[in-house]
Structure 1
């Protein structure tokens, strides 16, 4: 199973359309996870047209998106529990806020907000921030993430200029 992980699209402010690298990957993904800051429902509707979509709202998302999506969500995919949250808030780091958003044992916590790609473990839980495919800020590359599930769960970032 192939899960495409994105966050912080901020469309149409940061990009008018999804990047070609991303739309090409969307065609072969089994599931898409978006960790918030969509900016408009147009992004949600476009991603939904590719198939199964899970997501949460972020701090820049308007009331229309907040009516459709939760602040945090837990899904189970082939026996793996995946938590999704944007990670915004006050005090602490984005990473700490993401971890503290859940009070159950998870295999992966997916979050965004910082636009900084991250892949590391806290105990047995993988922490995964895909970065942003449309707003790299001062980073040299745009990015998104891929989760692949076979016997185990593997994660990787895809980077491009």
Structure 2
């Protein structure tokens, strides 16, 4: 079993609230717009870390992390990309490949809107953890936490860090 912390859109911001949840996870996944590479480095010092770069990430982050990450954890195929869209509205760049070879779990960020939705057409679970950083229009900083065990995704939790004014 793996306990996963999923975050996105930190935009160069990390604080004790985020790090508290990092310490409780087995792995941390970041779905882009990391910002400063030091944000990723501070997480990597504590836990195994997987990430993709987002549209605001500079050449340093892009040199370290891919545009798309595809991997298998505990029997669950995962595809992470920053700008992925949602069921019935997937980004044009990935749409055909996603239809041809859908993962069990598709994760994207970018929108700053937390959403978990099952795509019945492609038989996959879509997750967007919202935004954990302070930059953007979102009112509440959010992340997701879940477990993966023997091919199952379970115990999904929404983590609300704070309401922004």
2:77 matched to which residue of 1?
81
- 1:100-126 alpha-carbon deviations (Å, 9 max, x no partner): 263422111111000000001112211
2:132 matched to which residue of 1?
133
2:24 match: secondary structure: coil
Using the alignment, how far apart are the partners of 2:107 and 2:36 within structure 1?
A: 20
Deviation (angstroms), 1:159: 1.2
TM-score, normalised relative to structure 1:
0.85
Deviation (angstroms), 1:43: 1.0
Counting matched residue pairs gives 151
TM-score, normalised relative to structure 2:
0.83
2:103 matched to which residue of 1?
106
Deviation (angstroms), 1:22: 1.6
5+ long unaligned stretches in structure 1: 89-93
Using the alignment, how far apart are the partners of 1:136 and 1:64 within structure 2?
A: 20
Deviation (angstroms), 1:40: 1.4
1:60 match: secondary structure: coil
CA RMSD of aligned residues (A): 1.9
Assess if the C-alpha contact under 8 Å between 1:3 and 1:148 holds in 2: yes
5+ long unaligned stretches in structure 2: none
Say which structure is richer in strand: 2
